[in-house]
C-alpha cells in the first residue's frame, strides 16, 4: 500500500492536488469523465483551495468532472459543518460548473433515510445502474478520525455491516447526530482510494492500522479493501510520527 509522508499539511495538499490533476487526465482519456468522491472534515480544505488556483486549476477539464461526497452531515448546504459547503466555498465558487456536475447528499432532509435513498437513486441514475449494482468511482478521497472512522463509517455502527445499499443514514451515538454515508461496497468497488490523514491525534491509530499485528482490533478504515483498485496513503509527519523509519525513507 503506497504510503507517502509529507513535511506538513500544505505539502500533502499540493501532492493531492497533483494526484487529482493526473487522475483527471487519465479518466478523461479513458472514459471522458472523472467521477470523484470528496471527503469531509478539515484535512481536504487546503486541497480544495489549491484546485481553484494555479498550477492546478487550468490543467483540469472541469466540465467533465462529477463531484460526489463520501458522507454528509445532517445540516443545510450553507451550514459551516456542511462537507458540500466547504467545497462550494473553496472551489465551486471559483469555477463555472453546471449544476448536474455536483451530486451533493441532501442530508438536510428531515428524514436521513430518505436522504440516503435519494443519494442512491442519484448514483443509479448517473452510473446507469440497476437495483443492487454498485457504482465504480475513478477517485475517492477519504479521511480518518482518531477512532479509525472514515467517511461516516464509525466504530460500532450498523453502517459497517451494510453489504447491499450504496448509501445509508446512520445514528452516530458519540456525536449525537445522524450522518449519511457511502458504504463499504462502494469504496471496495473504487478504482483508486486516497486516504488523506493529518494531525498528531491520529498517530497511534495510524500505526495500528498500517503496522499493527493482523489480530489488532479492527478499525472501520481497515474495512476499505478495493477488489480491483489501489489504495494510497497521504500522511503528514505529525500523523505518521509513530510509523517505522523504513516508511519514512521511502
Ligand atoms: C467528516 C468526514 C470524516 C473525516 C474524518 C477526518 O464528514 O467528518 O468525512 O470521515 O474525514 O473525521 O476529519 P479531519 O480531516 O477533520 O481530521
Tens of pLDDT, residue by residue, the chain (250 residues) = 789 999 999 999 999 999 999 999 999 999 899 999 999 999 999 999 999 999 999 999 999 999 999 999 999 999 999 999 999 999 999 999 999 999 999 999 999 999 999 999 999 999 999 988 999 999 999 999 999 999 999 999 999 999 999 999 999 999 999 999 999 999 999 999 999 999 999 999 999 999 987 666 689 999 999 999 999 999 999 999 999 876 665 5
Q: What is the pLDDT of residue 11?
A: 98
Q: How far is the CA of 41 from the centre of ligand 1 (A)?
A: 4
Residues lining ligand 1, Cβ inside 6 A: 39-43, 70-71, 83, 143-145, 149-151, 199
Nearest CA to ligand 1 atom 3: 151
CATH number at residue 57: 3.40.50.1360
The atom of ligand 1 lying closest to the CA of 72 is 7
Nearest CA to ligand 1 atom 11: 143
Q: How far is the CA of 202 from the centre of ligand 1 (A)?
A: 12
Q: How far is the CA of 23 from the centre of ligand 1 (A)?
A: 22
Exposure of 88 in the CB half-sphere (CA atoms within 13 A): 15
The atom of ligand 1 lying closest to the CA of 181 is 9
- Let me know: does 223 contact 142? Beta carbons within 8 Å: no
Give, for ligand 1, the residue of 40, 72, 150 to mutate: max count of ligand atoms closer than 8 Å to Cβ: 40
CA distances in angstroms from 120 to 107, 167, 174, listed in the order given: 12, 6, 26
Q: What is the pLDDT of residue 217?
A: 64
Q: What is the dihedral of CA 48, 52, 56, 60, to 10 degrees?
A: 100
Q: What is the pLDDT of residue 31?
A: 83
Q: How far is the CA of 30 from the centre of ligand 1 (A)?
A: 30
Helix spans in the chain (H): 9-31, 45-51, 83-90, 112-127, 184-187, 203-211, 245-248
The atom of ligand 1 lying closest to the CA of 41 is 16
Give, for ligand 1, the residue of 9, 12, 38, 39 to mutate: max count of ligand atoms closer than 8 Å to Cβ: 39
The atom of ligand 1 lying closest to the CA of 44 is 15
Query: How many structural domains does the chain have?
Result: 1
Q: What is the pLDDT of residue 132?
A: 85
**Dmax over Cα atoms in the chain, in whole Å?**
50
Q: How far is the CA of 195 from the centre of ligand 1 (A)?
A: 11
- Let me know: does 151 contact 71? Beta carbons within 8 Å: yes
Give, for ligand 1, the residue of 72, 143, 177 to mutate: max count of ligand atoms closer than 8 Å to Cβ: 143
Q: CA 189, CA 225: separation in Å to the nearest integer?
A: 9
Work out the end-to-end distance of the chain between its first and last CA atoms, rounded to an integer number of angstroms.
12
Could you list the residue range(s) of the whole structural domain that residue 203 is in?
3-248
Amino acid at each position: 500500500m503506497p504510503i507517502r509522508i509529507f513535511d506538513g499539511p500544505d505539502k500533502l495538499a499540493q501532492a493531492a492536488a497533483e494526484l487529482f490533476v493526473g487522475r483527471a487526465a487519465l479518466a478523461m482519456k479513458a472514459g471522458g469523465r472523472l467521477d470523484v468522491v470528496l471527503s469531509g472534515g478539515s484535512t481536504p480544505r487546503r486541497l480544495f483551495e489549491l484546485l481553484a488556483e494555479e498550477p492546478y486549476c487550468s490543467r483540469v477539464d472541469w466540465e467533465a468532472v462529477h463531484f460526489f461526497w463520501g458522507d454528509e452531515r445532517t445540516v443545510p448546504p450553507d451550514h459551516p459543518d456542511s462537507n458540500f459547503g466547504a467545497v462550494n466555498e473553496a472551489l465551486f465558487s471559483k469555477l463555472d460548473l453546471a449544476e448536474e456536475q455536483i451530486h451533493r447528499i441532501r442530508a438536510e432532509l428531515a428524514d436521513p433515510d430518505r436522504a440516503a435513498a435519494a443519494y442512491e437513486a442519484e448514483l443509479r441514475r448517473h452510473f446507469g445502474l440497476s437495483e443492487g449494482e454498485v457504482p465504480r468511482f475513478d477517485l475517492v478521497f477519504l479521511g480518518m478520525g482518531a477512532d479509525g472512522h472514515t467517511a461516516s463509517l464509525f466504530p460500532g455502527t450498523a453502517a459497517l455491516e451494510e453489504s447491499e445499499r450504496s448509501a445509508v443514514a446512520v445514528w452516530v451515538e458519540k456525536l449525537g447526530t445522524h450522518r449519511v454515508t457511502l458504504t463499504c461496497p462502494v469504496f471496495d468497488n473504487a478504482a483508486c482510494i486516497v486516504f488523506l490523514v493529518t494531525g498528531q491525534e491520529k498517530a497511534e491509530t495510524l500505526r495500528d492500522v498500517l503496522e499493527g499485528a493482523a489480530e489488532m482490533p479492527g478499525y472501520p478504515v481497515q474495512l476499505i479493501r478495493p477488489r480491483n483498485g489501489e489504495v494510497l496513503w497521504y500522511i503528514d509527519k505529525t500523523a505518521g510520527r509513530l510509523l517505522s523509519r523504513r516508511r519514512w525513507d521511502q
